């Protein structure tokens, strides 16, 4: 299973979820929260690119591989 590390990166850098939401220009906050908390089943490449730009991280740093049991 693959999951996003966005919340960890935000915490490490002392950045809020609200700041990232504004930076990437999403309009639906509920969808944004589901996305960053790994409750979404899909993500657009454009959104990945915007997140990487806002956080100044390479794509590979956003993702990590986990056991499915760790996600529950």
Report the pLDDT value the prediction gives residue 68, as an integer from 0 to 100. Answer: 63
**For residue 51, is it left (φ>0), alpha (ψ between -120 and 50) or beta?**
alpha
Enumerate residues 6+ apart whose C-beta is below 8 A from 59.
Answer: 48, 52
Report the pLDDT value the prediction gives residue 62, as an integer from 0 to 100. Answer: 96
Select the more confidently predicted residue: 69 or 2. Answer: 2
Domains of the chain: 2-58 (1.10.260.40)
Quick: pLDDT tens for 21-72.
999 999 999 999 999 999 999 999 999 999 999 999 999 999 999 886 554 4
**Alpha-carbon gap, residue 49 to 66, rounded angstroms:** 22
């Amino acid at each position: 299973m693959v999951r996003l590390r966005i919340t960890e990166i935000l915490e490490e850098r002392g950045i809020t979820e609200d700041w990232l939401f504004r930076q990437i220009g999403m309009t639906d906050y509920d969808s944004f929260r589901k996305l960053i908390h790994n409750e979404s089943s899909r993500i657009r490449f454009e959104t990945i690119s915007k997140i990487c730009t806002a956080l100044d991280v390479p794509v590979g740093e956003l993702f990590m591989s986990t056991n499915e049991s760790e996600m529950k």
